[in-house]
Amino acid sequence: MRRAEHAPHPLTLGVTPACAGRPLSTFFRHGASPADLRALCGACPLYEACDAYAMAYDVRGIWAGTTYSEGAQRRHRLGILPLSVFTDTPRDLDVLRERRPYGGDLRARRRALAAQGVSTR
């Protein structure tokens, strides 16, 4: 097994994603269907960057049309150990803090989703 290499968060690249304006809950359980998201993501200019980030980091939800378990299986097949979104991306989080609600604080974002009854596990 080898540790994944850093990949930039897609929203730090200055390109508007196809999912712009959609609530974050779209990408979690009870959100849009995986088939709908695969179609949306397939047309996104950030698809490759989003996929690379989701392969490098242990992110939850659907990224680049790939579910958490599909991504985990792919990493397992390739022998990749993911990085942590909490401890391994300080620079990305600094950039996101200026652009995203909840100040880029992923734990605060998770709490806000939980308050809406959306599971991010």
Contact residues: ligand SF4, CB under 6 A? 10, 17-19, 40-41, 44, 46-47, 50, 63-64
**Placement of tokens 């730090």 in the chain:** 12
Rank residues 21 and 90 by Cβ distance to ligand SF4 and give the closer one: 21
For 16-45, b where at least 16 C-beta lie within 10 A, e where not — what string?
A: ebbbeeeebbbbbeebbeeeebeebbeebe
Burial of 117 (0-12, 13-18, 19+ CB in 10 A): exposed
Rank residues 16 and 73 by Cβ distance to ligand SF4 and give the closer one: 16
Rank residues 1 and 118 by Cβ distance to ligand SF4 and give the closer one: 118
Q: How far is the CB of 1 from ligand SF4 (least distance, A)?
A: 26
- The rounded distance, in Å, linking the Cα atoms of 101 and 104 is 7
Q: How far is the CB of 35 from ligand SF4 (least distance, A)?
A: 13
Q: How far is the CB of 54 from ligand SF4 (least distance, A)?
A: 8
Q: How far is the CB of 12 from ligand SF4 (least distance, A)?
A: 12
